[in-house]
Structure 1
């Protein structure tokens, strides 16, 4: 099967290797014979950040050393989201790596100077494992499709454990994720973000469906708003798994916040149903994966938090996903769905 690349932009990897080699010489002052090799874009990579895998080799203190790496570069023109949270993405990964409860790739170096690669970037350790990719949909083909129900059950259980583990990290330790003014944390922060997202989309033209959906959601405002860190794109497609079907890494922290505990659970449940649930639109139901009810029960037990009122957050998830879809359509010059489909999805007349 050919490699599928879905990245905001690509570049000459040989040239990139030379730039990284020169840059590493400043980060590893005691190293000699530095080489950078095996550069590649990850299969099924995300659409908002350019990410390149590579191996760094060098000699230091009488020993040959090797470090598998991934460089993540701040987007320039292809910006999917209105908020620049690149620094925050690095900071939350660093916090979680040091905490140890959530399995993330350990950040190694951060570079602010855009002269090196054209924009800021950070390098993290490269994890080795398998990812249930969206292109092609993992429920239709690939290693998870071919797995046994027992193996899928192990994968689902570990994924929900990690999802819940995020909520065991005190939000107070991630103050750098706070929003502005009255929208510093909780649902107010996520709501403010997507109000601004809608206004940003309207710079290219009116968005009456999104405005109607916001009004409907606001009229049904939930009473339950437990505090918590938001991962931002909570799905098994953003997790890496080992041959034993256990979680190796929780990835893609590009839209974190202090928006509250239920946003990630809602996103996870919504995407699970879409990608591999009984009403999947991307393939077939994957036997062994937990149901929505099982996911909620396991998440509540591990996180120690209540999922009361989750249905509203799932509706908000559909709104968030639609905003992203509209933005991607703007960037590509082709709408990703028509107005009638948007109204059905967002339950507005």
Structure 2
């Protein structure tokens, strides 16, 4: 690890805090590095030379507290420890004045878990078709395990407000769209209106991850999922929203410059239909309305991409491929409309 401290984390202050709060945990000076690949909260690998941990904090100059809720991530992972859902063991959560003094923002510490986040088709290609197929199917099995957890039994009975969940989700993303409108986008209002008109009846609520996909889990050398990460959008709600998002991310797309996962084009990667069938067989849930949930996922990603395009054109954000993101939005809208019609 680099000897130079990364932006947003002072190893000396962190060690002093850990020595006070968890005496004996740290055996020597801490070194830290920023883990690349995160899209929102900042993630650091930290070591004393003998043990390793991970620290999560909001972005530098973080804005809305609700958008980067450290307590939410920490609470759900702590609650899921001991269930079949693999999560990193949590160490501590730091908020308020103490957090401002240590890192300048709320943060939490968890154990480091070995594993690879497969983000691209090229990475998966190294596994070969059979291992890729098995790994992605295990992603479905882990999702079934998550949705089988009884929220009240693990202390998450008040983790969200599942009544009216889908209506609120649709309103939220419609509001996001309105905040980013700067051009004509044929089909986007049609898709939004069709989703509102065909709102399905939700099954019993479960803990939902909110951003469930292959690059938000770690996979070890034996192709086992060792940890599910990035719980900042988790809540109690409709479990089929997780499955719809996974189905969307599992649709092969050849879109150079896209910020979304492109691993679905890897040889051996199961198509959405196989994943949906496996989920239905293992969970026992009715998935006949899954086309709505997948179309909603396409809509949500289109809104996110349009927001990035909007900010990029105004010089408010930069990133690799951001100059082409505006071209991708109509593609996502087309898939959303097609999915809804076919369903």
Specify the TM-score bucket, using the shorter chain as the normaliser.
Answer: 0.7 to 0.9
In 2, the alpha carbon distance for the partners of 1:176 and 1:224 equals 18
The superposition leaves residues 193-243 of structure 1 with CA deviations (integer Å, 9 ceiling, x where unpaired) of 442344255345568755553322111112353422210111111111111
Q: Secondary structure at the match of 2:101?
A: coil
Given the alignment, which residue of 33, 56, 65 partners 2:48?
A: 56
SS of residue matched to 2:18: helix
**TM-score scaled to structure 1, two decimals?**
0.78
Contact 1:80/1:324 (8 A) holds in 2: no
Question: How many angstroms apart in 2 are the aligned matches of 1:85 and 1:247?
Answer: 24
RMSD over aligned CA atoms reads: 3.2
**TM-score, structure 2 length as denominator?**
0.79
Aligned to 2:213: 235
Residue in 2 that maps onto 1:192: 168
Q: How does 1:335-346 map to 2 (within 5 A)?
A: 336-337=325-326, 340-341=330-331, 343-346=333-336
Q: Is the 8 A contact 1:131 1:237 kept in 2?
A: yes
Q: Is 1:102–1:166's contact at 8 Å kept on the other side of the alignment?
A: yes
2-structure distance, mates of 1:204, 1:302: 40
Question: Which deviates further from its counterpart, 122-131 or 18-27?
Answer: 18-27
CA, structure 1 residues 169+77, in 2 after alignment: closer, same or farther (shift >3 Å)? same
Deviation at 1:106, TM superposition (A): 1.3
Distance 1:191 1:322, change over 3 A: farther
After TM superposition, list the pairs within 5 Å mapping 1:1-349 onto structure 2. Answer: 12=6, 16-30=10-24, 34-37=28-31, 39-43=32-36, 45-56=37-48, 66-75=50-59, 77=61, 83-97=67-81, 99-112=82-95, 113-133=99-119, 138-139=120-121, 141-142=122-123, 144-172=124-152, 173-178=155-160, 184-185=161-162, 188-200=164-176, 202-203=178-179, 205=181, 211-274=189-252, 282=262, 285-329=265-309, 330=311, 331-332=316-317, 336-337=325-326, 340-341=330-331, 343-347=333-337
User: Structure 2: how far apart are the matches of 1:310 and 1:40?
Assistant: 41
**2:33–2:44 Cα contact (<8 Å) kept:** yes
- 1:100 and 1:312 map into 2 onto residues whose CA distance is 30
SS at match of 2:43: strand
Q: Secondary structure at the residue paired with 1:163?
A: helix
Say if 1:177 and 1:324 are closer, same or farther in 2 by CA, change over 3 A. farther
Separation of aligned partners in 2, 1:90 and 1:230: 15
The question of whether the paired residues in 2 share the 8 Å contact of 1:25 and 1:34 is answered with: no
Per mean C-alpha deviation after superposition, the further-off stretch among 108-117 and 144-153 is 144-153
Contact 1:105 1:249 (8 Å CA) reproduced:
yes
